[in-house]
Amino acid sequence: MTVVYFDSPMSDDDRRRKLFGGDLFVYSPTRHSLELVAFAREMAEEAFAPHFPPDAQHHLAGRAYVDVLAGLKPAFINHPRSKELVAGMLADLGADLAQTYFDVPRLRTMTSEYLNAGLTLQFESHRDTWFSAPMSQINFWMPVYDVEEANVMAFHPPYFANGVRNSSRDYNYGEWVAHGRTAAAQQIDTETRKQPEAEEEIQREPDIRVITPPGGILIFSGAQLHTTVPNTSGKTRFSIDFRAVNRRDVEERAGAANVDSGCTGTTLGDFLRATDLTQLPPELISSYDTVPA
């Protein structure tokens, strides 16, 4: 059974335990989530001017569209204001900022029956833990503009405790950072980079799709199997996501059960403490940094 909690007053410690068990949490927009969405809109609308960002795909050729994203996305990711607002969001949601570490917030763009590679890649069914994420990782997601059931994510709860045959055994995060991530802007019409994927048919229905207003927050475990719904809405979906871990969970190896992830390496070096943007201790990161057999 998967429970969806709405605006729960539960403590962060109890919430993480529920998330590690496969439940979902949804929150109304908070002060800082609305500010983060407004900041993303400001940057996107300036970058795509004179076109409204969700409609810009109908006005730009593929290369021109990707060129806009190649400037917009790193500018948003690396802006100090983005990190400041993420820390504020975590505080809004009751997280212990001294123990909480997050990675940079990413601005995602899922076009509608247009591009599907590189900076516009729409992910097939996967778990983040196939991509070298720790089992204690918690994901935060929110729409920037209005979304609908035809352009959000679908969760597949029956697979939370049941493994899926997949190719994560071939994935190492360090190799991806060195060779895969940097090639994103060169992927226009076809995705050629090798990433983890399911190697068996996924029963995708019934699924769970969560619709929130812009700035509404969806929280789920990095071990949740989920799929980017094929976007047939006619508009590009703009969303923001980031991940977080609690240091105690990392130290204690707490988290969701690993039912099928065989990847190597770790993303923990990307996480920054919400209070001062320092990394986790090097020895703690290295204890997760497995290498290919």
Six token digits for residue 192? 């050629």
Q: What is the mean pLDDT of residues 130-148?
A: 97
Mean pLDDT on 273-292: 93
| Average pLDDT of the segment spanning 199-204 | 93
C-alpha–C-alpha distance, residues 263 and 81, integer Å: 33
What average pLDDT does the segment 99-116 reach?
90
- Tokens coding 72: 């917009």
In this predicted structure, what is the pLDDT of residue 254? 97
Structure tokens at 245: 């871990």
Write the DSSP string, 220-275.
EETT--EEEPP--SSSPEEEEEEEEEEHHHHHHT-SS--SS---BS-SGGG-EETT
With a pLDDT cut of 90, the percent of the chain lying above it is 84
Question: What pLDDT, on the 0 to 100 scale, is given for residue 33?
Answer: 98
Give the rounded percent of residues in the chain with a pLDDT score beyond 70.
Answer: 92
**Cβ contact 234:141 at 8 Å:** no
pLDDT of residue 122: 72
Q: Report pLDDT digits (tens) over 69-105.
A: 999 999 999 999 999 999 999 999 999 999 999 999 9
Kindly report the average pLDDT of the chain as a whole number. 92
The pTM for the full model equals 0.92
Per DSSP, the three-state class of 204 is coil
The pLDDT of residue 185 is above 90: no
